[in-house]
């Protein structure tokens, strides 16, 4: 085992990183080093990724803010109270212990945030950190290696260029944050980000212009690489033209230097990226395009583009006929990464109820969600914290209080007494409380349809009877007379 990695293992065994004051100091040093290096980090991000200055500033803000939030979450007095809870005769059901050390493989998208976000959460949980930053031409990688070397404790924080051997002791007590593309199944427990798609749905009841702005911004920002950018937009056919017009307008406003609006919506794609060429070959048509970006309509329901994960600034639009049509289309593949629903609140409720997705948002797409990797599989997608302290610790509750059943069960096992047996039999023979189901007053979606149909039938019948009376009434009266 490498000497530096061995030092990390020793520090984890000693619990050096698991004291509140040490955690606070490490987070404070990380926060200050990032603050002091902001101009250099900003320049490196723009050079490496091609992000705009505003996009680089957004990533830096979210990264630094993640450190600040973790720092402010450290409650020294609470830590002391929990540590001595048993000595004071109190249970400590919330106790957690750190995993030991965390190995971070950053993603290519938002590399700064994909390193800082899990690192500060793991530090706050009391872990040692190892970050894999390979020796490349990346300016940001070189800069971060320098920043970490100068500011962080070398016994608990390490940057490596090559991965330790897979049979090392290191991996046996390590959690891997996998934001890379190389397989890591042979390593320790892994927090991996899923690659499932995100979809936006624009209903006829939505504020179409606002929806178009949010969707265009999220798809084209950060060079279209965000895992949470909508890979497909399902637009109700009644507002399709309005949405396309608004999307073209906002696309030109936001990225006018790179985009040229196409007046003829049916003009052929003229982009140069691989995806754009594939779209052109499939017969898809664009209404706005440029050297790197485009917005295209895909009409064919069986097109493989409807289930494709997009990692470029390309926005695909597909018309739908109804809410149920949108649900069927959205559920045609694996559960979605995120769903963005634009429409009235009842419409959004209906869609979110039946679409299989990890998270849904109504009438907005959070900008902070566009930065960094997708939330790890099996975790709750949290806009504020992509990674939490709980991901890097395990529960270890401490109890001193006996449960209410303990005396009775102990008596039953120790004495086999008739009294204990009688109580047990009485408890297991007791009936459950009746289901208190309130009277249904609200009219559901399908009930509304039935009532509407009945109302239409009743009106039609009454109208028919009225016409018959008007036409046949005089003849009947004369006959009776």
pLDDT at 263: 36
Structural domain range at position 353: 198-370
Distance, CA of 108 to CA of 115 (rounded, Å): 10
Is pLDDT at 65 greater than 60 in this prediction?
yes
Over the stretch 395-451, which tens digit does the pLDDT of each residue have?
999 999 999 889 888 888 887 778 888 888 998 999 999 988 776 655 665 666 677
How many percent of the chain have pLDDT more than 70?
A: 85
Residues 343-371 have pLDDT tens digits of: 999 999 999 999 999 999 999 999 999 99
Query: 3-state DSSP call for residue 393?
Result: strand
Over the stretch 134-173, which tens digit does the pLDDT of each residue have?
A: 888 889 999 999 999 999 999 999 999 888 876 667 787 7
Does 180 lie in the same domain as 38? Answer: yes
This prediction has a pTM of 0.84
Q: Please check whether residue 33 is in contact with residue 147, taking contact to mean a CB–CB distance below 8 angstroms.
A: yes
Q: Is residue 46 located within the same domain as residue 138?
A: yes
Q: Which of 115, 160, 164 is nearest to 1 (CA)?
A: 164
Chosen domain end from 370, 403, 422: 370
pLDDT value, residue 256? 63
Residue 265 above 60 pLDDT? no
123 and 12 inside one domain: yes
Task: Note whether 178 and 240 are same-domain residues.
Answer: no
- Kindly state whether residues 251 and 323 are assigned to the same domain: yes
> What CATH number has the domain bearing residue 69?
3.40.605.10
Give the C-alpha separation, 399 to 327, whole Å: 47
Can you give the pLDDT at residue 232?
Answer: 96
Considering the domain architecture, whether residues 350 and 390 belong to the same structural domain is answered as no
| 444 is a domain residue | no
**161 and 189 belong to one structural domain:** yes
Q: Report pLDDT digits (tens) over 111-134.
A: 999 999 999 999 999 999 999 998
Q: Contact, 350 vs 323, CB < 8 A?
A: yes
Residue 446 resides in a domain: no
The pLDDT of residue 471 is: 67
Q: Is residue 458 part of a domain?
A: no
Domains contained in the chain, number: 2
381 domain residue, yes or no: no
Phi, psi of 85 (to 5 degrees): -65, -45
Mean pLDDT of 71-88: 91
Is 74 part of any domain?
yes
User: Is residue 205 located within the same domain as residue 242?
Assistant: yes
In a domain, 468, yes or no: no
d(CA 393, CA 213) in angstroms, rounded, equals 40
Backbone torsions φ then ψ of 95, nearest 5 degrees: -60, 135
Kind of pairing, strands 232-236 and 259-261?
A: unpaired
What pLDDT shows up at residue 463? 75
E-strand ranges in 248-291 read 259-261, 285-290
The chain-wide mean pLDDT, for the chain, equals 86
Residue 320 has pLDDT above 70, yes or no: yes
- Assess whether 164 and 246 both reside in one domain: no
Query: 291 and 163, same structural domain?
Result: no
Q: Which residue's entry shows tokens 């995993």?
A: 99
Same domain as 133, residue 167? yes
DSSP conformation class of 75: -
Residue 437: exposed, middle, or buried by beta-carbon count in 10 A (0-12, 13-18, 19+)? exposed
């Amino acid at each position: 085992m490498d000497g530096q990695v061995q030092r990390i293992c020793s520090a984890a065994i000693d619990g050096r990183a698991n004291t509140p004051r040490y955690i606070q100091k490490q987070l404070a040093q990380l926060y200050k080093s990032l603050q002091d290096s902001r101009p250099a980090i900003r320049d490196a991000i723009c050079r490496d990724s091609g992000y705009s200055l505003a996009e680089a500033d957004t990533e830096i803000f979210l990264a630094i803010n993640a450190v600040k939030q973790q720092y402010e979450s450290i409650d020294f007095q609470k830590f002391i109270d929990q540590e001595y809870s048993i000595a004071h005769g109190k249970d400590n059901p919330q106790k957690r212990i750190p995993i030991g050390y965390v190995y971070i493989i950053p993603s290519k998208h938002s590399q700064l945030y994909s390193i800082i976000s899990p690192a500060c959460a793991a530090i706050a949980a009391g872990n040692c950190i190892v970050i894999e930053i390979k020796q490349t031409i990346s300016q940001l990688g070189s800069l971060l290696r320098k920043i970490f070397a100068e500011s962080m404790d070398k016994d608990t924080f390490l940057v490596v260029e090559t991965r330790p051997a897979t049979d090392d002791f290191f991996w046996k007590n390590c959690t891997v944050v996998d934001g890379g593309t190389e397989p890591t199944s042979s390593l320790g427990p892994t927090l991996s980000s899923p690659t499932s798609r995100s979809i936006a749905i624009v209903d006829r009841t939505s504020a179409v212009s606002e929806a178009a702005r949010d969707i265009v911004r999220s798809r084209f920002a950060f060079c279209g690489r965000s895992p949470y950018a909508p890979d497909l937009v399902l637009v109700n056919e009644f507002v399709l033209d309005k949405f396309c017009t608004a999307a073209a307008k906002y696309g030109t406003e936001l990225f006018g230097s790179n985009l040229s609006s196409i007046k003829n919506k049916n003009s052929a794609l003229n982009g140069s990226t691989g995806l754009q060429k594939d779209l052109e070959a499939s017969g898809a048509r664009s209404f706005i395009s440029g050297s790197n970006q485009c917005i295209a309509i895909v009409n064919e329901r069986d097109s493989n583009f409807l289930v494709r994960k997009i990692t470029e600034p390309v926005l695909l639009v597909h018309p739908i006929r109804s809410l149920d049509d949108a649900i069927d289309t959205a559920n045609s593949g694996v559960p979605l990464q995120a769903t963005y629903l634009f429409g009235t609140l009842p419409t959004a409720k209906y869609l979110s109820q039946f679409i299989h997705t990890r998270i849904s948002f109504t009438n907005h797409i959070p900008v902070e969600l566009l930065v960094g990797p997708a939330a790890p599989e099996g975790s709750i997608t949290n806009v504020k914290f992509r990674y939490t302290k709980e991901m890097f610790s395990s529960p270890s509750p401490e109890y001193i209080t006996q449960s209410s059943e303990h005396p009775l069960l102990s008596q039953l096992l120790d004495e086999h007494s008739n009294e204990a047996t009688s109580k047990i039999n009485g408890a297991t023979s007791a009936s459950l409380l009746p289901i208190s189901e309130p009277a249904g007053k609200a009219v559901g979606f399908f009930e509304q349809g039935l009532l509407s149909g009945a109302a239409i039938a009743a009106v039609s019948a009454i109208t028919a009877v009225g016409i018959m009376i008007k036409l046949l009434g005089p003849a009947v009266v004369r006959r009776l007379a």
